[in-house]
Structure 1
Amino acid sequence: MKIFKILSLFLVLATSALTAQNKQITLEEIWNGTFRTEGLQALHSMKNGQQYSVLNFDRANRATTIDIYDYKTLEKTKTLVSSADIDAIPYFTDYTFSEDESKVLLATEEESIFRRSTLGKYFVFDTETGKTTLVTEDKIQEPTFSPDGTKIAFGLNNNLYVKDLNSGKITQFTTDGEKNKIINGITDWVYEEEFSFVRAFDWNADSNKIAFIRFDETDVPEFSMDVYGEDLYPTQSVFKYPKAGEKNAEVSLHIYDLKTNKAEEVKVNKAYNDFYIPRIKWTNNPDILSAQYMNRHQNELDLWFINAKKNQSEIVLAETDKAYIDVTFDLTFLEDDSFIWTSEKDGYNHIYHYDKNGKLINQVTKGNWEVTSYYGYDNKTGRIFYQSVENGSINRDVYAIKLNGTKKRRLTDKTGTNNADFSANFTYFINTFSNASTPYLYTLNDAKSGKVLKVIKDNSDLKNQLTDYQLSEKEFSTINVNGNDLNMWMIKPANFDASKQYPLFMFQYSGPGSQQVANRWNSANDYWYQLLAQQGYIVACVDGRGTGLKGADFKKVTQKELGKYEVEDQIDAAKLLGQRNYIDASRIGIWGWSYGGFMSSNALFKGNDVFKMAIAVAPVTSWRYYDSIYTERYMTTPQENPSGYDENSPINHVEKLKGDFLLIHGSGDDNVHVQNTMRMVEALVQANKQFELMIYPDKNHGIYGGNTRLQLYTKMTNFINRTLGDKL
């Protein structure tokens, strides 16, 4: 009897374990936060180099806090700010310290404008007195402390202001700002999106001058979007959007002198026609401003040093490229005003050291691999810290190297994606590690040796939770397509049987310099791919020609012909995969979002004998409809390169459609306008082609909010099952 009970208990436990391991991922779980990872929000290294701060949420008090932690012990030493103690602030969403850390700027009531820009109300918290002061009753943009911490500059209604924190006086120093005409110190739509910055003003070291870019977008064509909302009549959002070949904003550089209360335009000693100013930054010398000027084709970049006192300017560095030059934030001025610069000029992205006059001192890093992040320079040890793909293009590691290019040391030892956040004095770094099988692991590391000193967060709860699910390994490999070994990952069903045949569903993005085949932890899409694998699909992703981190030649081969080589690679990769015994070549599908939607549309039309179905979300359907800076970087203008624009745009290949096509877009997409999809729809209708269409009212390029993502992915899953899953 006792034996029977023991056997029964064993069978119950075994069945429970088996059931637990076979738990299936659901779409609801993917989008309700079930698989959310823990992290360190708004991490900031304190100036003393011994502590760091993090933004936390105090659930007991329903308050946000800035908490200070000790690097050595990882113990919380104090709560610096809590919204529970400030009557005027129910909560704040971000914070910024003044340089001396005597004050903290707290962001509240933030509302999104475009991808990077926000409006918000901001408070200054004095760490010594505990006093909190509202900057202004208005919602403002990009408030920034002066280096001495006594003032804040900010943007409001396309003009610039300075608030003296001692007197409380606010001075408006530009007056011509006007919506859809003149913007001072804040970037226009296309700069924000394609040069990836919003604050177009900068304080000098002495806190007595502010340099800023002025945008005159009077002649830039306007784009309008209907906003349907919930009222009886819709409204319109109207904004300046320069499409390829159209008029850009005219930019000019200005310097405001706080002592004289005058702003004057800066003139450089070179005549530019139709140019960009993608970066400005003061050097350590309070009278010397650096400014980067770039031609419209973006294949010439000049670094100017401008003497604000003498009103003189000189080019200290000039780069040219047969294709284009990527603008970065890596320019760093050392104590002697020599500077660090990154460039692809030897065929791979590397670090260079120039003297203060622009003379090359040395190339710091070298090799057939890419530097992917520049972290900083430690003046005490003479070491530069950076991230690179030296350990394989799908991996990232943290390295240190002497300024003269010697004594390089790898500081991370786990294979996958490592990213460092260094203490202010470069004694420590917090490393964020993940790979395809390891959720984010946060460790405290010694910056000298890279040695792990302590584990901060390891997401062990999530990892334990996932043991209940039937998950498949993400297998990394390469596939030789058109003479190139392309990076690939593949996810097979957990019960994969090589003697059976499975439908193949491919994902890609494929945009210039991008990467989707990377050894890192799951995104929401990865859980969706696991769900599809559970349902009997093989999911694969191939990074074709034009993608990044394999050298400039590999990346720039698509120049002037976006959608040619990348599409060829996806079609030919699908053909090769279809030859594998375990893949059903008659059931291959492909999908993508944005550039990936442009690609999946093209792949279905041009590869109509290979792909049975495609899903295109928010796709560009003709590069004539997309913005000037991005498109012309790779294509020049439509006037110069009409065939490049038209021959590879899917809108011109709709007559080749044979398979099933699902087209999805948000009507409030300010980036890739729904116009792209509407023109595609009209072309498909006139070609008498059947397809499916889903429009998400008022949703932007991300198509999210409420149940939107759940509904979207349910729709896509159902479409895949209906078009590829007929034999499952």
Structure 2
Amino acid sequence: MPGQYDPVSTEEPTYPPTSPGGGGALALGASPRHSLDSVGSGSDLVYRDIAEEDPFEEKSGFRDEEQDEEPGFVVEPRRLRPRKRSRKILAVLIFIVAGAAAIGVLAASGYSAPSFAVKSGNRHITMDHVFNGTFSPHFQSHQWVAQADDGTYSEIDPEGNIILHNVLNNDSILLVASSDVVDPRSGNRMEWDWWRLSADMEYVMFRTDYRKQWRHSSHGNYWVHRLSDKATFPVHEPSPADVMPSVTHASWSPVSHAIAYVSNNDLYVLTAAQLAAARPRAIRVTHDGSSVVFNGVPDWVYEEEVFSTDYAMWWSPNAEEVAYLRSNESEVPEFKLQYYNPSSDAFSVNPYPTEVDMRYPKPGTAMPRVTVHTFSLASYAETGAVGSKRDLHWDGELAVTDRIITEVAWVADDGLMIKEIDRAARSGKVVVFTAGKSEGTVVRTLGKDGEEGDDGWIDHGQDVIPVKSGVGGYVDIVPNDGYDHIALFSPITATEPIWLSSGEWEVASISGIDHEKGIVYFVAANPSIDRHLYSVALPTKDNLQDFTPEPIALTDTSQPGYYDAFFSPQAGFYGLAYRGPNVPWQRLVQTGEDGINIMLEDNAELNATLAEFHRPIETRSTLQTDEYELNMIEILPPNIDTSGRKKYPLLIQVYGGPYSQMVSNAFKRDWHSFLACEQKYVIVRIDGRGTGFKGRALRNPIRDDLGHWEVEDQLALARELIKRKYIDRQRVGIWGWSYGGYMTLKTLEAGHDLFTLGMAVAPVTDWRYYDSIYTERYMNTPEANPDGYVRSAVNNVTNFAGIDLLLAHGTGDDNVHFANMASLVDKLTQDQVRGWRMRMFTDSSHSIMTRGANRELYEWMTSYLEEKWGHGGNIQH
């Protein structure tokens, strides 16, 4: 996705990534670079697709045992992508230590409330304050331990020991002493960066020699540490110190202590019995892994646009089978990324660029051919390799050239569910496999003639969670009269849902299930700019026929609020993070009426800090365009004079991608707060047509026509705002990153008479340059929609003449390729449009981080605004 955000690293390495093949040796100094940052679902900016770069975004995620988020303060700009929800009961409580400065205290706290002034301190905000975390809320970081009693979480102490704490009885035990984990290669203490405990709590798996590849994927050497005798040995033959590790993912079985892992794109399984042997030797499940064939891990486009993970394998709940995706991208066109300097020193000389080959499907071209398979450990034990693998098929299965597998999930010990859609995301099926069968049953239909019931696209997330008690089945997030809600399908072969929620609001995520009590916990955008926590009881066998859902709010819905909740594995406890509109706080809560409720962080120090500084005035309201009510937020200079005696520049910040959200009640203070307080600019954002959390009717109009209705809404906003007496009509600008950069250029193209300035960072300039899975979801193929592709491109560049235009792009952008910027510059040159200013950032990816590039980019944009606009608040004579 160009640009929603899934959490990421604060730094971008200065070396190129490995080839997606993952099997080649690479010198240690040429490790794969960090992936693009993405925005977490608890953030103000929820980019479901291409996400705008926001280096000040507070991390609002958690790690589960198969998805590692790197704590950091930069969020990625990527998501031109669909919503990605965690599919399993969230096994981790991570109160992420927020690194980024989050956007400011809200001056207006109502959904459509009028503005009011907030008392500010006297200290000025500087760019150092913006970047050094002065305004960052703090959250404790803990991880629930699914294998222990519910309410147990882990902590790593300063010496590197792993400690387990139980919330209920306040007990603590030492799980692993760091001195006991010895690297067999050196005899020294192991330097690991990741760990996981086996289901039976007999072993701990560690990762060393971590090398990042793309956004989620990485390489590493994996080790098993046996707690009984403190022996440590490799899961797979470790690589030499100067060679890239071959293993790209490893995970414990949900029962006992088997391991499934991928090396050189082949799937291996190490059974519990094998692990107990003196020299463990794994079962090699597949034998065709290569640079173009992937087993158990996604290729680039599936990692980026579909699963948002580094794995494509799934253990059955009873650990008897492993399902896995096989991707063959041999027919996908090859794209070469060039890196000019594989070091951290800008003065280093690399006479020849390093080239990284990747397969990148663009609209209308061949996509990866994907199939789903299972491997049975029980069958292998009885018959060996013969008969232990199943190739899965179903009636009406789409051709492998024209389909996307959007989700694979176990919904019972012997029940597997697969979702398949066509490449245009217009039709699809949900298929269930039972009792070890290779032929599945189609149980649900997706698209206009199915669950969506309209002409929009099929959204896909990782939402399915099995229900392990009561009536059984599974829950999923499904459109209900045009709004995303929770549906129970019971039994797993059910074709019709039992609705657990409904109404003109949307469920953002399923947070957890208490299977013993029969309660589902979820977070809802109700209203759309809030996030509140709810619970709803599952039906029982006694009331199934006349069941009426009654969701209960667990947070105060009478007040604006933006909450995250991270539930323990059995949903007996949760970490509740309040993220706005006021200063964030964090509590540890036990479910039930008389459970514990402990304040973990109140951020009192941040409260005191905020009182010292200038503070912007923030108002949230709505703008009516056509029949749509659009959420907007204004960030105003403190003590703004609205009489018209003083004039203020207007800068619209835009993202606007499908299913994204920029306007919310989350607390945030960042670069825009600096511009409002110190430069005296008026900053405004609006979520127009196509954006998320207000129902499909608001999202669907942009189908087959990107860059039209979203732009019309930005123009309507500008026309409305320049009517205000205090806005300087000679200083009206717009800026954005990724999809926001695209929106900036399309808005300037259409509204050149309204705007005098624009800044576009890492923009898409023609959708034929972007990846097929994302683009075709909204635009269909170029063959089916040729006029739409031409219309959506940035073509009328002569309209940029007379506009102050700033452009920026990283040359190492694996997501929105530099070709987008090169094409735009070519058009500007051919049409002799002058006066624009452009910088390319050497080797930087979509997040523009390499060798200090991120801070430099913001400093450059700030100086550009000062040069062109100066300060606001000027008295007019």
Q: Distance in 1 between matches of 2:168 and 2:472?
A: 33
2:659 maps to: 513
Structure 2 CA distance for partners of 1:300 and 1:452, relative to 1, 3 Å: farther
CA contact (8 A) 2:206 2:224 kept: yes
1:145 and 2:240 aligned: no
3-state SS of 1:291 partner: strand
Q: Which has the higher contact order (CA 8 A, sep 6+)?
A: 2
Query: Match of 1:407, as an amino acid?
Result: E
Aligned equivalent of 1:415, options 531, 537, 560: 560
Q: Residue 327 of structure 2 corresponds to which residue in structure 1? A: 215
Give the alignment's TM-score, normalised by structure 1.
Answer: 0.91
The structural deviation recorded for 1:98 is 2.6
Paired residue for 1:671, among 805, 815, 823? Answer: 815
Contact 1:411 1:451 in 2 (8 A): no
Which residue identity is paired with 2:474? F
Distance in 1 (CA, whole Å) between partners of 2:868 and 2:176 is 55
Secondary structure of residue in 1 paired with 2:394: coil
The 5 Å alignment of 1:337-356 reads 337-355=472-490, 356=492
Q: Relative to structure 1, is the Cα distance of residues 703 and 656 closer, same or farther in structure 2, using a 3 angstrom cutoff?
A: closer
| Corresponding residue to 2:710 among 532, 553, 566 | 566
Q: Please point out which of 719, 722, 725 is paired with 2:864.
A: 719
Check 1:99–1:647 CA distance in 2 against 1; reply closer, same or farther (3 A cut): same
Q: State how 1:373-384 maps to structure 2 within 5 Å.
A: 373-384=509-520
Out of 625-634 and 199-208, give the one that drifted further. 199-208
Q: Among 552, 557, 566, which residue is 2:701 paired with?
A: 557
CA contact (8 A) 1:94 1:107 kept: yes
Aligned to 2:295: 184
**8 Å contact kept, 1:505–1:589:** yes
Could you say if the C-alpha distance between residues 527 and 102 of structure 1 is closer, same or farther in structure 2, counting changes exceeding 3 Å?
farther
Cα distance, 1:159 vs structure 2: 1.2
- From the superposition, tell whether residues 613 and 531 of structure 1 become closer, same or farther in structure 2 (CA, over 3 Å): closer
2:431 is equivalent to residue 304 of structure 1:
yes
- For residue 304 of structure 2, what is the amino acid of its counterpart? E
1:290 to 404, 410, 417: 417
Structure 2 counterparts to residues 636-647 of structure 1, below 5 A: 636-647=780-791
399, 402, 414: which one pairs with 2:534? Answer: 399
Identity of aligned residues (%): 31
Unaligned 5+ segments in structure 1 are 1-18
- Kindly tell me: are residues 658 and 149 of structure 1, through their superposed partners in 2, closer, same or farther at Cα, counting changes over 3 Å? farther
SS in 2 for 1:23: coil
Q: 1:494 to 1:267 in 2, by over 3 A?
A: same
Residue 270 of structure 1 corresponds to 396
SS at match of 1:476: strand
- Structure 1 residues 614 and 54, CA gap change in structure 2 (3 angstroms): farther
CA distance 1:452–1:598, shift in 2 (3 Å): farther
Aligned residue in 1 for 2:508: 372
Match of 1:162 among 262, 266, 269: 269
1:283, 1:337 within 8 Å by CA — same for their partners in 2?
A: no
CA deviations over 1:367-421 (Å, ceiling 9, x no partner): 000000112322222221111022x211000001112443321111263211111
Partner SS for 1:707: helix
CA 1:693–1:452 in 2, change beyond 3 Å: closer, same or farther?
Answer: farther
Number of residue pairs the alignment of both structures matches: 699
Q: Give 1:567 shift.
A: 0.6
> 2:175 pairs with 80, 87, 93, which one?
80
The question of 1:325 aligning with 2:458 is answered yes
Question: 341-350 or 198-207: which moved more?
Answer: 198-207
Aligned equivalents of 2:807, 2:650: Cα separation in 1: 20
Distance 1:20 1:562 in 2: 41
Equivalent position SS for 2:579: strand
Q: Deviations over 1:4-41 (max 9, x none)?
A: xxxxxxxxxxxxxxx99322222233223444432233
Distance 1:407 1:38 in 2: 34
Which of the pair is proportionally richer in strand? 1
Residue of structure 2 aligned with 1:173, choices 272, 285, 308: 285
Q: Secondary structure at the match of 1:213?
A: strand
Is contact 1:226-1:234 (8 Å) kept? yes
> 1:62-91 CA deviation, whole Å, 9 max, x = no partner?
x4x433333247x57244335455343554
- Of 476-485 and 32-41, deviating more is 32-41
Q: State the shift of 1:679 in Å.
A: 0.2
Deviation at 1:621, TM superposition (A): 0.2
Q: 1:254 aligns with which of 373, 382, 387?
A: 373
Unaligned runs of 5+ in 2: 1-118, 184-188, 240-244, 342-348, 449-454, 540-547
After TM superposition, the structure 1 = structure 2 runs for residues 59-138 of structure 1, keeping only pairs within 5 Å, are 61=159, 63=160, 65-72=161-168, 77-83=172-178, 85-88=180-183, 91-136=191-236, 137-138=238-239
How far 1:257 sits from its partner (Å)? 3.0
Question: 1:531: Cα distance to partner?
Answer: 4.0
Give the letter aligned to residue 519 of structure 1: N
Match of 1:588, SS state, is strand
Q: In terms of mean alpha carbon deviation, does 652-661 or 452-461 score higher?
A: 652-661
Q: Report how far residue 93 of structure 1 moved.
A: 3.1
Residues 1:387 and 1:206: Cα distance change in structure 2 (over 3 Å): closer
Does the C-alpha gap of structure 1 residues 301 and 659 become closer, same or farther in structure 2, counting only changes over 3 Å?
Answer: same
Equivalence for 1:3: none
In 2 relative to 1, CA 79–433 (structure 1 residues): closer, same or farther, beyond 3 Å?
farther
